């Protein structure tokens, strides 16, 4: 497992066959944490990364990573990184050809099976170069909301199959209380079940939320790390964080920033 004493556990990468779950809420986006994972994985030089996003395009992530000194296009040209667009062309009958950093876009034309095939192809393409890649899924729960034929069973099967062909998996999902507290609709019930099932399979969970006391100008939110299955070394801890322009500060309660 990738862990060092000078590296905060919330940004540590999963070990082989491990799943890390990241939950976030409206107002406490996990995008910065996705970028921290990407930077750690790419600079470590150990294996390739497949990043699948159902909420944001490659341009957004490339710009954010550029501020951290990471050129995704360059890593794509080296066969270390590929981006799969799960949003912009999801309901289009055709998808664009791949670039050095992007493996094209997913289409819902073939249902969940077609989406699964698109992700699998991207993973296997990088597997040929440096062994199984790390897989990051950003907001895959969007599929359950967008496609009537996709429920918690189909989502669970997809995650299981992707874990088998990946070195480790990081899944980032929304965990707003509106979805998880007393779910009534099919969407709410499937969303709640999906998040709960993931938490029961995760080596550890990193939860992002707003301050209980409301918004503060010098604190963006709270990070809570919770141990999961088979990972007794994870330190359960709760800290504060602040997202600035291209930088994130993490600090304990009562500690002075900077």
Range of the domain at 38: 19-91+101-252
pLDDT at 4: 33
pLDDT at 32: 93
What CA–CA distance (Å, rounded) separates 168 from 191? 22
Is residue 243 a part of any domain in this protein? yes
Is residue 258 a part of any domain in this protein? no
The total domain count for the chain is: 1
Is residue 162 a part of any domain in this protein? yes
Is residue 111 a part of any domain in this protein? yes
Q: How far is CA 242 from the centre of its chain?
A: 19
- 150, 144 Cβ separation under 8 angstroms: yes
Is residue 227 a part of any domain in this protein? yes
pLDDT at 16: 92
What CA–CA distance (Å, rounded) separates 36 from 170? 12
pLDDT at 105: 80
pLDDT along the chain (258 residues), means of 10: 46 91 92 93 88 94 93 93 89 55 73 91 84 95 88 94 96 81 79 92 93 82 87 75 84 69
Is residue 3 a part of any domain in this protein? no
- The domain that contains 244 carries what CATH number? 3.40.50.300
């Amino acid at each position: 497992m990738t862990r060092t004493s000078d590296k905060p556990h919330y940004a540590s990468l999963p070990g082989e066959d491990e799943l890390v779950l990241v939950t976030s809420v409206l107002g406490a986006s996990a995008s910065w944490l996705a970028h921290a994972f990407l930077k750690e994985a790419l600079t470590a030089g150990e294996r390739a990364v497949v990043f699948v996003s159902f909420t944001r395009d490659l341009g957004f992530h490339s710009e954010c990573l550029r501020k951290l000194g990471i050129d995704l296009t360059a890593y794509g040209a080296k066969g270390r990184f590929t981006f799969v667009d799960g949003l912009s062309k999801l309901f289009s009958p055709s998808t664009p050809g791949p670039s050095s950093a992007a493996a094209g876009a997913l289409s819902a034309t073939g249902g969940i099976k077609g989406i699964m095939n698109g992700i699998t192809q991207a993973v296997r393409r990088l597997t040929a170069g440096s062994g199984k890649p790390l897989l990051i899924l950003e907001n895959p729960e969007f599929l359950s909301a967008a496609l009537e034929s996709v429920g918690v069973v189909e989502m669970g099967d997809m995650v299981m199959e992707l874990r088998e062909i990946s070195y480790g998996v990081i899944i980032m999902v929304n965990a707003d209380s509106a979805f998880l507290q007393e779910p009534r609709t099919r969407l709410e019930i499937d969303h709640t079940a999906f998040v709960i099932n993931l938490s029961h399979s995760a080596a550890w969970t990193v939860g992002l939320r707003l301050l209980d006391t409301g918004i503060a100008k010098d604190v963006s939110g709270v990070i809570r790390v919770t141990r999961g299955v088979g990972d007794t070394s994870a330190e359960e801890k709760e800290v504060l964080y602040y997202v600035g322009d291209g930088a994130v500060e993490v600090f304990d309660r009562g500690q002075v920033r900077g």
